[in-house]
Amino acid sequence: MDNSFEITIQIVLTVLAGISAQVIGEYLKVPSIIFLLVFGVSLGPDGIGLVRPQELGVGLEVLVSLCVALILFEGGLSLELKELDRVSNSLRNLVTTGVFITLLGGGMAAHWLGEFPWSLAFLYASLVVVTGPTVINPLLRQVTVDRKVATLLEGEGVLIDPVGAILAVVVLDIILNGDADPWLIISGLTVRLGTGAVIGGLGGALLGLFLKKTQFLTEELRNLVVLATLWGLYGVAQEIQDESGLMATVVAGVVLRALSVPDERLLRRFKGQLTILAVSVLFILLAADLSIASIFALGRGAVLTVTVLMVVVRPLNIFICTAPSDLNWRQKAFLSWIAPRGIVSASVASLFAILLTERGISGGDAIKALVFLTIIITVLSQGLTASLLARLLGLTGQKEGSGAVIVGCSPLSLLIARLFKESGEPVALIDTNADACVGAEQENLSVFVNSALDAEVLEEAGIGGARTLLAMTTNGDINAVVAQQAQEEFQLPRIIAVRPKEDAAKETSAKKGSLGQKSASTKATFPTIALKQWNGYLREGRVRLGETQLRTEGALMQRAHLRALMRNGELMPLLVKRDRHMWVALQESDGWKAGDRIIYLLHDQKPKLLQRLSGGSRPAKLEIETVPLVEAIPPPAKVVEAPPPSPVGQNLEPLPQTTDNGTYAGDVESPNGQVSPSASRSASSPSSPAQSAASEVTEDRNS
């Protein structure tokens, strides 16, 4: 078989295995790197032998370099400088002082416990000072911790990768050249980091300005321009100074994010997809090149080395680097445990093993095996226990936030915002129409005259600490786009995008199927309400603001009664209160429980003249009241059975008599000559809310 075809088959198998591992990890909610390692070893020479990375030759090194550059650029692009500023001191300590603490502690553990020579022990320690966004970011998506801890872990994972990679190169140079002068270590780090930072900063700034000035580029071409530029910056930096390319890519990503280029969200999505592909391919290839026998040959000392690195060196590192900060002991305990190693450690260790073998220095395969053992143990132990530890330390739920950000200033949204404010929860409104925002200003509500499609506007409105985003403009498409962007950018617990009933009636069946009531991709809800109609009721003062509590006894009948009022367009729920929590609910939900208090709007169907005659018009400011129509739940409808047939010989009820003109006796003739049936013969269908509720309960019981 042709060698090129064999390599093609191996690459195809690598991509298939890598993406399959990502899918399984996403489905099981565990770090996908576990399955990437398992699939890689299984497909490699120690497994079924379908993937043989050695056949790639120097191409493996090229592939690793370009993929790692892409991964670190995407990590820098995901960093938010405003968030990093909150933990800047601790983060600076972790990527400077913390690196040398891990270098010293890991080196001593590898020498005394793993029985490695000092040179190889410190080479191992330099390889594991990094954590990496490829394992940290997926972990934080699965485990919700407070923003300060999450920001510190994300920033450390991105910024420490180039520092660790350059440190490892410096240590390797010392091993190969035999000169252990500490000045060489410091100067080597400084020169490489400085060169990469300057090239990356200038390149990122020029790229950002180019993207801002050029309007003719399509979205696809813009993404490819960024990809070509980041690889170009990596190549230039590598040409000027060895191993400075990784720092250049990270700085370029950070600068590009800070410049807020157009369509930045789409750019990050594209780079994120490429990063997933790169991580999948790299881990499969590197794990396939791993010898299982070399891991077992390390013995018990290797496991003890990794254990000391996790439970002694890392906590000591966190304690020293975060001492001046305001982090509490729970946050520090979580940071001390979470430090999984990722793709940078694996890729650099694999390249170093090849280089040491070529130079005739033994121990390269052992170092590679120990690094992969560190990756396996840290990812398994920390990835599977992070959620439990966060709950035990009380760090979960702090990202849930409180209050709401409401998009669209209408009478209905103003009422919901006022209810949030009166309950002591923060709320902000956003609208592009300055005239529509006047009402919010009169209510002393926080309002922003701007577009909610701008992520910075959402951040300024406080979406980072909010629990709910409610998009309630008169344009359903805009509401859906805002909801999707908010989910991708901020991952709020509750996102509601209103579909005005007027728009929903115009949609085609295909479009209805694409939106539905829920979107699996955005995890948002899309309730359909008569927005224009209810806003009109509010302007005319034809509504009542009520509150009812869901009961334990007669719950079925009560829910059916409320459902009938909603179906008839007479009632719309606004908020649900449970204990100390409150959230928006514009439609009935299966999550309602007995004891919940429902705040609702009820359409007052009295004509205006009758309202004046019965006691004047409604007050301008609605107050919560108890409405008898909602509280008076009708009894279930009684089923009347037909009487049994009368026995023969008994008196039967006489049949109705007809008149000469063919009508029944008792029918009423109107003045115009038309005949109406008598009350005894007229049949009426249930049309009131009470009758609808009774019939609905019967249906529920039958079902």
Cα 689 to chain centroid distance, Å, stands at 41
Q: Kindly provide the residue ranges of all beta strands, DSSP E only, lying in 374-462, ordered along the sequence.
A: 404-407, 427-431, 446-449
DSSP label at residue 569: T
Q: How far apart are CA 687 and CA 558, in angstroms?
A: 17
Looking at residue 315, what is its pLDDT?
Answer: 96
Looking at residue 4, what is its pLDDT?
Answer: 82
- Which residue, among 572, 553, 552, has the nearest Cα to 562 in the 3D structure? 572
- Which residue, among 251, 212, 209, has the nearest Cα to 230 in the 3D structure? 251
3-state secondary structure of 428: strand
- Identical fold for domains 3-392 and 400-538, yes or no, is no
Looking at residue 169, what is its pLDDT?
Answer: 87
- CB-CB contact of 298 with 366 (8 Å): yes
Beta-ladder partners of 577: 582, 597
- CB-CB contact of 163 with 193 (8 Å): yes
Looking at residue 417, what is its pLDDT?
Answer: 93
Most distant CA pair in the chain, distance: 128
Per-residue CA distances from 283 to 38, 63, 81, 139, 421 (Å): 10, 12, 30, 17, 50
- CB-CB contact of 586 with 534 (8 Å): no
DSSP label at residue 625: B
Tokens representing residue 246 in the block:
């990784």
- CB-CB contact of 68 with 130 (8 Å): no
Sheet holding 597-603, edge to edge: 543-549, 597-603, 571-578, 581-584
DSSP string across 326-357: ---HHHHHHHHH-----HHHHHHHHHHHHHHH
Tokens representing residue 294 in the block:
């070399």
**Could you report the per-residue pLDDT of 431-472, keeping only the tens digit for each?**
999 998 998 888 899 999 998 888 778 878 888 778 899 999
3-state secondary structure of 468: strand
Phi, psi of 362 (to 5 degrees): -75, 155
Residue 571, Cβ density class (10 Å: 0-12 exposed, 13-18 middle, ≥19 buried):
buried
Domain limits of the chain?
A: 3-392, 400-538
3-state secondary structure of 28: helix
Looking at residue 681, what is its pLDDT?
Answer: 40
3-state secondary structure of 230: helix
Give CATH for domain 3-392.
1.20.1530.20
Residue 48, Cβ density class (10 Å: 0-12 exposed, 13-18 middle, ≥19 buried):
exposed
Looking at residue 696, what is its pLDDT?
Answer: 54
Tokens representing residue 47 in the block:
């497994």
Q: Given this structure, which CATH class describes domain 400-538?
A: alpha beta
Given a cut of 50, the residues of the chain with pLDDT beneath it are 1, 398-399, 508-522, 616, 648-687, 703
- Going 396 to 399 to 401 to 404, the CA torsion angle's sign is negative
